[in-house]
Structure formats: C-alpha cells, structure tokens
Amino acid sequence: MIKGWTQKQAINRKMRHDSRLSGAVAKTTLMCSFIVLLLFSSCASLQKMAVSSFEKPTVSVADIKLDRLSFEQVTLLFDIEITNPNLMAVNLAGFDYDLGMNNKSLVQGNQKKGLKIAAQSESMVQLPVTLNFKDLYQSINELRRRDNADYILSLGVTIEAPLLGSEHRLSINKQGQIPLPKLPAISLDALELKRLGFSGADLTVKVKVENPNAFDFGMNSINFSLQIAGAQWLNQKSTNQQKILAKKNGILSFPISLNFFEIGPSVLKLLKSSEPLDYDVEGEVEFNTSLPLIGVTKVPFALSGKVPVQK
C-alpha cells in the first residue's frame, strides 16, 4: 500500500512539473511573438518615416560642349549632374532623351546606366547626341538658309531607391543653339579668250567659290581638270592660298595655253564659234575654316554644263 501511494505521488509531481513547463513555454512563445510584432511594427514605422522624409534627387545640365563638328554632322556633349540629398544611396537606372527643333523631334534614344549615387552626394554623367545635317535639312528645309539653329533637349532620368523599393523619373528641358556649317559651292564662272592665232590660243578659266557661311575659310589648294567637248584642256594643281570671306565669293584663275597641232585643229573652229562650249570639270579643293573643330577639309567636286567663250 505504501508502494502504491509513492507511485501516485510521483505521478502528481510529474504532472505539476509538466504544467509548469507548459506555462513557461507559453510565456516564452508569447514574449517572442510580442518581440517579433514589435520589430515588425518598428520596421514599418522606420520605412514609413524613410518614405515620408525621402527627397527626390535633382537633375541639371551643368555644361554643353560641341564635341565634334563637320559639314556632315554635329555631336553635342551634355554634362548631366544628379544630386542626391538623402541619407541613403540611390541608383541611376538610365535616361531617355529627345532632341528637337521647330517643334519636330529629330533624335531620340535611351541609355541604361546602373550607376550608384552615394548619400548626400553628386554624380556627373555625359550624354552625347549626334545630329546629321542631311537628315536635318530634309526634315526642316528652311534651316538650309540659316547659319544657326535653336534646339531643345527633353531629358528624362530614372532614379531607383532600393531601400524603399521605389522608382522616380526626373524630367528637364534644356535649350541651346548649334552652328550649321555648309560646304562651299564651286562653279565654272567664265572662259576668257586672251589670244587666238593659227597655231594656238591663250585662255583663262575662272572658277567661282561661294562661301555661304557666317565664318571665313581659306583655300589651301585645288586640283582642277577641265575637258571641253571631250578633249582635255587643263589638268593642274594650284597651291595659291586665298581667303574667302564670310558670305562672299572668291574667283580662282587658271591660265591655259593651247597648241592646235597637239590638241587638234577642231579647237580653232570651236573658239571662233559664238556657241557655248560643253565642259566637264573634276577636282578636289582643300580648305580650312576659322572654326577649330572643323579644321582642314577636302571636298571633291564634279561639274558639267555649257560655258560661253568671252572674247
């Protein structure tokens, strides 16, 4: 009987122990749940505070450069400055742009960057935009007569805030002006007869060079080949330098001495005639401009038509 009583006491003690253990576990679980809930509540509060205190970064065009310039195209280089005023880093995801003139869109594009901008700091990125003059004149014909053109750049910058899981697009417009350089126009101006004899003739070929630009350029050299009625009358290179002023014309003179025994007696008949002569001209002109980005340029030319003989 004593043995049975002892077993009963042991069972009761175990039950009381298990009950106390279950209570402790319950209290611990409740405490952990409370801590987790508190942490989540704190994180949510902190994120809410971060969102409410977040300031959108600012974007500006710090500088614009003429990076490359030729008679075919121009490349503008935009220095884009992005300022992050926040206590957290942000990412430059990319940007899109549209360059237009006269309310017409001419060049569009976008770039992905993935650049990190540290907290309370500034970063600079460069955007090159190339404009082809041939495409420009086809779109806006009136610009052919202008020396400069006004443009507007519409720029969109996409900023990511990883800690907030948000994305922001910043927009800015920038206006400016670009030069519109044009190639000189070359034409056969006159064919002057200086002397006519039975054995030969002396003439002067005058070539007109028109400068349509608002800047001067200098002629360095010209290669010139002239055919009259299918016969070559002149093949010469001139290195006489000549300055052609802005919006002015220059005249290049080439002397010709013809020997009828070499070139044929039919030339005498052509020169005595009052009819204009068929000509073909080929060559290349080398010139430099007062614009340092253009520098020395070589331009081939080919002309054909009719020219009267001035006697």
| 189 and 296 both lie in a single domain | yes
pLDDT of residue 194: 95
The domain tally of the chain equals 2
pLDDT band at 20 (very low <50, low <70, confident <90, very high): low
Residue 39 lies in a domain: no
| 221 and 296 both lie in a single domain | yes
| 175 and 94 both lie in a single domain | yes
Given 179, 195, 221, the domain boundary residue is 179
- The 10s digit of each residue's pLDDT in 175-200 is 999 999 999 999 999 999 999 998 99
Residue 5 lies in a domain: no
- The 10s digit of each residue's pLDDT in 221-265 is 999 999 999 999 999 888 888 899 999 999 999 999 999 988 888
| 73 and 90 both lie in a single domain | yes
pLDDT of residue 293: 85
Q: With 90 as the cut, is the pLDDT of residue 130 above it?
A: yes
Residue 119 lies in a domain: yes
Residue 45 lies in a domain: no
| Cα angle value 146/150/153 (rounded, 5°) | 145
Residue at token pair 């009987």: 1
CA 33 to chain centre: 60
Given 179, 198, 220, the domain boundary residue is 179
DSSP element (H, E) containing 295: none
pLDDT band at 41 (very low <50, low <70, confident <90, very high): very low
Domain that holds residue 285: 185-310
pLDDT band at 294 (very low <50, low <70, confident <90, very high): confident
Burial class (CB in 10 A: 0-12, 13-18, 19+), 159: buried
The CATH number of whichever domain residue 296 belongs to comes to 2.60.40.1820
| 142 and 214 both lie in a single domain | no
Residue 263 lies in a domain: yes
Given 133, 163, 179, the domain boundary residue is 179
| 146 and 208 both lie in a single domain | no
Q: What is the mean pLDDT of the chain?
A: 84
CA 20 to chain centre: 79
| 146 and 203 both lie in a single domain | no
